[in-house]
Amino acid sequence: MSITRSFKGTAWYYARYRPGYPEFFFADVIEKFQLDGAGRLLDLGCGTGQLMFPLARHFQEVVAIDQEPEMLAEAQIQAKIANVNNVIWFEISSEKLNDLKAELGEFKLVTMGRSFHWMDRDPTLQTLDEIITPTGGIVIVGDGSIWTRLSDVSSNKVDWHKQVKAVVQRWLGEARRAGDSIYVEPQEKHEIVLARSPFSRVEVYNYEFERQWNIETIKGHLYSTSFCSLPLLGERVAAFEKDLENTLLAIEPSGKFQESILLEALIAWRK
């Protein structure tokens, strides 16, 4: 599906409230592709850089692509903060990737973090086959969202994810928004799409760890999403925040929450 302007108004929050990825995940990527500071990385749907910045020093050059101009502007700010200075930026959609493949050149690795589900996946993989080196590959990684995750409800704990989702639905409707549109979940899992692509040799890695939240980080995270951005809420922001805070404090008066995260990484090569 199209991601056009679905993330308008989210970039500042995305950079500050979207959690990064754990070090042990990056260690596996570095080992699997024998990253040694040479070659080039393409981060497709780069957002504000959570995936590419930790990998940038392991490459000679990084190409960052996103079609949301606010994301690229914020990512460039974050690159300076992280002292990452080997990035070239492109404001295009994945659908335009084929038109620019000659200009983009070849890559040892292509990464997609929380982005592949927004793309026209089959054509994207066909284009990547033309720009990834013979021994290179793809990493697709994601950990779901507050909309889709469920809390640990053992020991009679209240499912705070479900309650947060209910607050969003009270203010923005039952359907999951994607900016001005409605989000449509892909019908096929990424593994199935990869299996029929040139990158059909796939290894699946699952990483489990704990993530801590409080009311401020939950609120900021929601504003980083396409389904609960500030532009969608408009003049209702203050009332929404009061509803959200009251709901969360009713669940846990301390305002502190935790969740068990399952991060899934698909690492794919050609056969």
Beta-strand pair 61-66/40-44 = parallel
Question: In this structure, is residue 89 part of a structural domain?
Answer: yes
pLDDT for position 151: 53
pLDDT for position 122: 97
pLDDT for position 4: 59
pLDDT for position 146: 87
pLDDT for position 155: 40
Q: How many domains does the chain have?
A: 1
pLDDT for position 158: 66
Question: In this structure, is residue 5 part of a structural domain?
Answer: no
118, 109, 87, 99: which is closest to 226 by C-alpha? 118
Question: In this structure, is residue 69 part of a structural domain?
Answer: yes
pLDDT, one tens digit for every residue, the chain (271 residues): 445 578 999 999 999 999 999 999 999 999 999 999 999 999 999 999 999 999 999 999 999 999 999 999 999 999 999 999 999 999 998 888 999 999 999 999 999 999 999 999 999 999 999 999 999 999 999 998 888 876 554 444 568 999 999 999 999 999 999 998 999 989 999 999 999 999 999 999 999 999 999 999 999 999 999 999 999 999 999 999 999 999 999 999 999 999 889 999 999 999 9
3-class SS letters over the chain: CCCCCCCCCCHHHHHHHCCCCCHHHHHHHHHHCCCCCCCEEEEECCCCCCCHHHHHCCCCEEEEEECCHHHHHHHHHHHHHCCCCCEEEEECCHHHHHHHHHHHCCEEEEEEECCHHHCCHHHHHHHHHHHEEEEEEEEEEECCCCCCCCCCCHHHCCCHHHHHHHHHHHHHCCCCEECCEECCCCCCCHHHHHHCCCCCEEEEEEEEEEEEEEHHHHHHHHHCCCCCCHHHHHHHHHHHHHHHHHHHHHHCCCCEEEEEEEEEEEEEECC
Question: In this structure, is residue 3 part of a structural domain?
Answer: no
Buried b vs exposed e over 10-21: b needs ≥16 C-beta within 10 Å?
bbbbbbebbeeb
Question: In this structure, is residue 101 part of a structural domain?
Answer: yes
Instruction: Return the number of other C-beta atoms located less than 10 Å from residue 187's C-beta.
Output: 6
The residues near 171 (Cβ < 8 Å, ≥ 6 apart) are 233, 236, 239, 240, 243
Question: In this structure, is residue 6 part of a structural domain?
Answer: no
Question: In this structure, is residue 100 part of a structural domain?
Answer: yes
Question: In this structure, is residue 209 part of a structural domain?
Answer: yes
pLDDT for position 145: 86
Instruction: Return the number of other C-beta atoms located less than 10 Å from residue 61's C-beta.
Output: 15
- Domain residue limits at 199: 11-269
pLDDT for position 132: 98
Q: Which residue has the tokens 């990158």?
A: 199
By the 10 Å C-beta count (0-12 exposed, 13-18 middle, 19+ buried), 87 is classed as buried
In single-letter form, the type of residue at position 56 comes to A
- The answer to whether 116 touches 45, Cβ cutoff 8 Å, is yes
**CATH number where 43 lies:** 3.40.50.150
The token pair at 21 is 């990825």
The residues near 158 (Cβ < 8 Å, ≥ 6 apart) are 151, 251, 252
